[in-house]
Amino acid sequence: MSRMTKLFTTLTLIAILAGAFAFAAPRALASDGTFNVSVYHGINGKALGLSKELPVMAYVYRNGELLATLPLEFKDRITANLPAGNYTIKVFSTELNSFVPSMQVGPVELPEGIMVRLNAQLGAGGAPDLVARVK
pLDDT 10s digits, 30-79:
568 999 999 999 999 999 999 999 999 999 999 999 999 999 999 999 99
Percent of the chain with pLDDT over 70: 77
Residues contacting residue 39 through CB under 8 Å, at least 6 positions apart: 58, 70, 72, 77, 78, 79, 89, 118, 120
Closest CA to 112 of 93, 85, 78, 88: 85
Return the half-sphere exposure (C-beta side, CA atoms, 13 A cut-off) of residue 122. Answer: 12
Total number of domains in the chain: 1
Nearest one of 15, 128, 110, 25 to 60, comparing CA atoms:
110
Using CA atoms, how far apart are residues 70 and 78, in angstroms rounded to an integer? Answer: 9
Answer yes or no: is pLDDT of 25 > 70: no
Amino acid at 135: K
Instruction: Give the pLDDT of residue 19.
Output: 36
pLDDT at residue 13 is higher than 60: no
pLDDT at 76: 97
Better-scored residue on pLDDT, 30 or 121: 121
Q: Helices marked H in 31-128 — which ranges?
A: none
Q: Is the pLDDT of residue 23 over 80?
A: no
**Is residue 87 pLDDT above 90, yes or no?**
yes
Predicted TM-score (pTM) of the model is: 0.73
- Residue 103's CATH number: 2.60.40.2890
The pLDDT of residue 11 is above 50: no
Domain that holds residue 31: 3-134
Query: Can you give the pLDDT at residue 30?
Result: 53
| Res. 88: pLDDT tops 70 | yes
